[in-house]
Amino acid sequence: MPLFTVSRPRSALSTANDTLTITASATKPLRIIMAKLAGADAAAAANVVVLQRSTGGTTPGGPITPEKVNPGSAAASFTVATSWAAQPTLAGGPLHRFVPNANGGIDPFVAVPGGEFSVPVGGQVSIRSEFGTSNVVPNLLIEEVD
């Protein structure tokens, strides 16, 4: 089961737009093993960011290519978007709330074995701010299940 990292350079949070949207392929589910948000501003500021299942959205853009942990693995079949013409709709409650301080604060989620967040075939998850518009750097470790 190949592992991939997903990282986005310093970017501003938005309460209306996803910072990242991860969409599983039509054939392989995903497991989110680690997700970390690090503040990337010079001054302290509070932020609350959710990792939450989502649906829909039109015309994804700003793709990020998942990086293979093992260079011998096949390319990822899931996609990662940083922009949308129309944003996905958040569904259900948050899987996790991050609270990174803008001044270098780091808030990680690291799953215990069996506690990974599952993304079903064709499913998606969004990372979006509930509160705060500071700059952050998100990093994730994602397993694509064969």
Per-residue pLDDT tens listing for the chain (146 residues): 899 999 999 999 999 999 999 999 999 999 999 999 999 999 999 999 999 999 999 999 999 999 999 999 999 999 999 999 999 999 999 999 999 999 988 999 999 999 999 999 999 999 999 999 999 999 999 999 98
Residues near 121 by Cβ (< 8 Å), separated by ≥ 6? 24, 25, 26, 27, 28, 29
- How much is the pTM? 0.95
Q: Which two tokens stand for residue 27?
A: 């054939």
The four Cα atoms 91, 109, 58, 61 give a dihedral, to 10 degrees, of: 170
Indicate the DSSP class of residue 116.
P
